[in-house]
Chain A
């Protein structure tokens, strides 16, 4: 089954890059997602990557996937105060709509 792990807290200065990490365990073909949750809000889909890809870039966001180590990372370039939030990685098996989430990383951006 799916099991997704994340570290908990990251503090970063405005303008710096921030990197959030995640590991997953399922070896099936999967989609891996990054979601953002601001206080009092639902989850916002940021980006996703299929397990046969190594990297995906989307504006300030870069997703890197190390399939051998089952390690996923999200890099946010030029971090802004609006990036302060909890970031969740999630995994779903190809063709299955059920997401398995990590515990989330809280990112605090210091002005």
Chain B
């Protein structure tokens, strides 16, 4: 099976702009989660989508949003970018088996805000 893919891999934006990142999960996986990784804060959970519904949400401002399509592909959007949004954004897909989520991560999108 193909792994989790994320596009684009690298992105440079300026403050105030908005950005959309895309994630295609492993075939058959219906859950997609997003994480932000920064040197200072480490890995932080953004949100999770399952069957086109947001099921979990982390502690991020409303500028961070996401959605999931019927084919399980997911996008996340960040509006009004700030310098502090510079980070590696990781997407993970998973299927549920007996309460266990084996989450498989994509390579990430490196966002730089200038």
Contact = CB atoms under 8 A, between A and B. Distances in A.
Q: Interface range on chain B: under 10, 10 to 19, 20 to 34, or 35 or more?
A: 20 to 34
Given A42-B108, A100-B45, A101-B42, A94 B103 contact: no
A98 B33 contact: yes
B56 A94 contact: no
B16 interface: no
Interface of A: 31, 33, 35, 41-45, 48, 50, 88, 90, 92, 94-104
A102 B107 CA distance: 19
B94 A97 contact: yes
Given A97-B48, A97-B56, A98-B33, A48 B102 contact: yes
Interface of B: 4, 31, 33, 35, 42-45, 48, 50, 55-56, 58, 90, 92, 94, 96, 99-108
A104 B39 CA distance: 11
A48 B100 contact: yes
B43 A88 contact: yes
